[in-house]
Structure 1
Amino acid sequence: MKDKLKDWRGGWNKFQPKYQPAAGRIETKAEAHARALQKLNQHQLEMRSLASKDRKLDDRRETAALTIEVKIAEGTALDIKTWERIADVIQRLGVAGMSSEDEADVTVDGGKVRLYKIKLCLWREPSIANILGFVDAQTLLRKANQPGPKPAPRIRNAGHGPGVAPAPRGLPRSLYNNEWLKAQTPAFVETLQISKEAFELFVAATDRMNL
């Protein structure tokens, strides 16, 4: 009960007028209401983005694992090694390494369709986007004949803007964007605690690798 009361008071306080130093006055009730709604909307967007990243990570893990099982059954050794490396990359990236997305409703053939515009991680090695895009294509194929809602289209485009999530720490240097690292201060790069592990990032993605 105390926790619920605390949450209620916290929510109520967000909508109360506050002193704005820049304006030199206390907000009006309308201004306070607009400010609080903006913060709540931003929080909801962040929660939806995090949930989307979780789903994306789970889908990619599952696709990689299932593909490895199929390749083992087929006995295609080269493909197995490549997919194992892809699975390793996905695991190392984790949720923090998944791109952010903006949602938009577009009209297709007279009907509304939800579209996801992918905002790439600036800190991430650019070629990783191709790897994940390849995995996503496999995910679409895998789910095409499954019951339930189909995955919404996802479009990668530099014009969508960059993601805003911070770079994760402790990854091998090969998973970071080298040009991005050069643009950071030495002190900041030090905080990333970049692993000295020699991790070769490669993908030999061919049609033969598909399910």
Structure 2
Amino acid sequence: MALLYNHLRDARIEWNRHQPQGGETEDEAEARAAAYNEKRRLKTVQSSRKSNKLNMRKKVAQKMVKLCFAKKDEEGVAAWTWFLKLLTELGNAGMSSEESEVGDMPTNSGALASVVVFAIRRCPWRLAMVNKYMEQIDEAALVVLTSGHSKHARVRTEQESEKFPPSGLPRAMYNPAWLTVQKTFLPDIEEILNFSEGSFTMMEVEVVIPGVN
């Protein structure tokens, strides 16, 4: 019964959303409802992309741990194991946003072909070191992931994400300069972000990526 009630409630809400409000015409009401649904769809797409990105990066780190272990590279094992911990702490919300668009990319023959390109926005709230580590993991993905991985081109841009950062992350993951600027507008920004109480130490990690380094 509860499931049926929820379906009926959602249907009623959706129906009401399409009804004219405040002197709207029917066309204006439909346009408003369509804009709302499109915004909700894009939010779902972004959430799915972030989840997929996190899972992909974890898979890369796991493969690199195994690769380093096989080579008896203790430093590599330690570095990529720490990357796994970093990714777990960041979670889906800590991944950068992407916008898809069609762009021209050169093929092996030198000709240009129209392909889907994901433009990666920079996270201004995230520590620069964390951004660097995400780039290194993505570089390793091109080497160690051979199947089940999206081959869409990803281009990092200087465009900043406008999304408010996730709360509950270790303080060490936030950009101190960004926090300082935010305090001028939001004096209680640290309370809003609610830093996690667990201990997390940011590390200087150098990794060797086969075929890249």
TM surpasses 0.5:
yes
C-alpha displacement of 1:210: 6.6
TM-align CA RMSD: 2.2
Q: Which residue of 1 aligns with 2:12?
A: 9
Within 2, Cα distance between the matches of 1:61 and 1:149?
Answer: 12
Change beyond 3 A, Cα 1:134–1:34: same
Q: Which residue of 2 aligns with 1:173?
A: 171
**TM-score under structure 2 length normalisation:** 0.85
After TM superposition, list the pairs within 5 Å mapping 1:137-156 onto structure 2: 137-143=139-145, 145-146=146-147, 150-156=150-156
Write the deviation string for residues 108-146 of structure 1: whole angstroms up to 9, x where unpaired. Answer: 446431110111222111221211111111112223x43
**TM-score under structure 1 length normalisation:** 0.85
Change beyond 3 A, Cα 1:209–1:153: closer
Q: Which residue of 2 aligns with 1:22?
A: none
C-alpha displacement of 1:172: 2.5
Q: Which residue of 1 aligns with 2:77?
A: 80
After TM superposition, list the pairs within 5 Å mapping 1:27-176 onto structure 2: 27-108=24-105, 109=111, 111-143=113-145, 145-146=146-147, 150-158=150-158, 160-164=159-163, 166-176=164-174
Change beyond 3 A, Cα 1:209–1:91: farther
Q: What percentage of residue pairs aligned between the two structures are identical?
A: 27
Gaps of 5+ in 1: 20-25
Q: Give the count of matched residue pairs.
A: 201
Gaps of 5+ in 2: 106-110
Write the deviation string for residues 14-51 of structure 1: whole angstroms up to 9, x where unpaired. Answer: 111111xxxxxx11111111111111101000000000
Change beyond 3 A, Cα 1:150–1:50: closer
Q: Which residue of 1 aligns with 2:108?
A: none
Q: Which residue of 1 aligns with 2:191?
A: 190
Contact 1:96–1:168 (Cα < 8 Å) also in 2: yes
